[in-house]
Structure 1
């Protein structure tokens, strides 16, 4: 009997071993790792506005929209202007397999959680959070680039640029009594002040909006990212204009912009890409610094709320030093920003590179085109393809740094450093 018991015990062990072996070999294979992705969210400085090579954009109905023609509604998804030359696509991002540009030119904090078409002047694209969730279903998101703050419910970058450029052109071409009679009423003819661009109260409101939108992004990432590990880079803005114009743009035919009726000077600065009063430049740079404060404040607030989050503030305000519009005498050649460029007679798509010899009625007609078809002038005063290449280098540094706050600076020899 003892032998039988030993035999039975051996058989039981053999059966158990066989069962275990079957269980192990029959177990489902481990899930394959998702491909890694970098994602861009935000507005025009992130989407690639000004860089050309714009790609089709899927609208809120799921239809990919290619270039619809200059006279199509500006709400068309294509005018998000997602460029193949955007900084996301130009950055060196080790370990990243795929890149998704979800930003949209003109984007506001509102557009993060809601379809932008739900607000006035918004484009027909889904909420950026919905687009982010779609990426997370197929990819492990490791890098997120965010650019928010320049457009909000208080002010927009485009509105600020239009205001200051129009004031200069009005001052150059019209008398005090003419007031752009054929446009939308009077246009002031004095330089922009700080209060004309953004008041302290408006900057504070914009900070609250931006922080709330980034909070929504971080919350969503925590819910959908495959491994919970991702670096979030919050980039601010660089001014396309210098603190002072190169000397050759100060006056023309013995007239400068402190005197009424200086059309030759107006035409010269327009051709160079910088139709702006010299006195507007310093307020413009303080406005850019204010945008940087919005982004920095949002980062600091959310770092305290999300102590485990990998958040980096990327300051790019000096990334275009020495290569801004009208900073050198050959502008816009060799610059990193797009000049102010209006279009005449759409749908032909004829960009006006010179206002020389045009009277105020012609100027009026050209300005009206931008008002009616904003897409014809929305590239103005944005980073060009070379500028987005530089911003890509800035992102490369921010994506790999151990610091929580870095500045991207262009040296006089063109070298870009991030520290």
Structure 2
């Protein structure tokens, strides 16, 4: 009798479970559903938007004071992933707050994470690429501006005063990037995604300049930066920035692609009289824009950003990295000079 009672007690819960399963033969898929089209989404600042490559999407080249400069030649368009749709939400000048959940408006646009949420309801997002941090405490573009002024003043290298505080700037940036990444994961979780249902990748920055610039280009015709500053940017600043971003990615379980060495031998002005070998813009002035008061303050905006060749190489490296399951890698040239992800040993 006892055995029969125990059998009934054990069987009834199993029957109840079978009834539930029969009503739902498959667990619900994360996001908008199994039949929804898939998507890859890019978020971040100028190095993800495609600043410097031209061919900007209508509405992002100053129209209505929107200077996001989303290029159709940005690296996300060169990243080959099997998805139905690609979205580039990155905006030149954005900081970590803008990428995360915020009420801040910049370049006439709001939170990129909230824009991601709208996409995630309609598309099944499988890949999220992020590049952010340089416009936070490091203020990398301002640093280059200070180095330009040092060249004009013909005084000391800007790195002489910048080096001591740079590491602290990077340290203050790390938690802000962490928060932005957590906001992205929270946004997708709120839309029904699990962390295993998509890839989140943070990439770092490549040095746009390096020592060895020909003397006849170390001026307004190319790269007006002092030799000591060129060396500091290439060998110290970019590496420390990349290390900080790697810590932020690891803290939230995001994958990390290190681009700190990606531009080696292809920096601005490295090609001398042949800029066709370079992956970064030299000092670039929009002279037509100088005639317009609204555009004048953006006349130098493209300077020292990757060009179309650089973005193509970054996209190539990202494509190969996404094929792996490695948590991190560094983009380095292969035997043909093309960027490829090198996994840590």
Is the shorter-chain TM-score for this pair beyond 0.5, marking a shared fold? yes
Deviations 1:229-259, CA, capped at 9 Å, x for gaps? 00111100000112x214xx24xxxxxxxxx
Q: 1:166 aligns with which of 149, 155, 172?
A: 149
Residue 99 (str. 1) matches residue 48 (str. 2): no
User: What does residue range 337-416 of structure 1 map to in structure 2 within 5 Å?
Assistant: 337-344=280-287, 346=289, 348=291, 373-411=296-334, 413-416=336-339
What's the offset of the Cα at 1:328?
Answer: 3.0
What's the offset of the Cα at 1:210?
Answer: 1.1
Unaligned runs of 5+ in 2: 1-22, 24-28
Deviations 1:206-232, CA, capped at 9 Å, x for gaps? 111111111111121222255650011
CA 1:322–1:315 in structure 2 vs 1: closer, same or farther (change >3 Å)? same
What's the offset of the Cα at 1:319?
Answer: 1.6
With the length of structure 1 as denominator, give the TM-score of the two structures: 0.68
User: What does residue range 125-204 of structure 1 map to in structure 2 within 5 Å?
Assistant: 125-152=109-136, 154-171=137-154, 189-193=155-159, 195-196=161-162, 198-204=165-171
User: What does residue range 15-414 of structure 1 map to in structure 2 within 5 Å?
Assistant: 33-56=35-58, 65=59, 67-68=61-62, 76-77=65-66, 79-93=67-81, 95-111=82-98, 112-117=100-105, 122-152=106-136, 154-171=137-154, 189-193=155-159, 195-196=161-162, 198-224=165-191, 226=193, 229-242=197-210, 244-246=211-213, 249-250=214-215, 269-271=219-221, 273-285=222-234, 286-303=236-253, 311-344=254-287, 346=289, 348=291, 373-411=296-334, 413-414=336-337
CA 1:137–1:194 in structure 2 vs 1: closer, same or farther (change >3 Å)? farther
CA 1:147–1:67 in structure 2 vs 1: closer, same or farther (change >3 Å)? closer
Q: Distance in 1 between matches of 2:232 and 2:218?
A: 22
Q: Name the count of aligned residue pairs.
A: 308
Query: Secondary structure at the residue paired with 1:46?
Result: helix
Q: Distance in 2 between matches of 1:233 and 1:382?
A: 21
What's the offset of the Cα at 1:159?
Answer: 0.6
The structure with more radius of gyration: 1
Query: Secondary structure at the residue paired with 2:237?
Result: helix
What is the match of residue 8 of structure 2?
none
What is the match of residue 19 of structure 2?
none
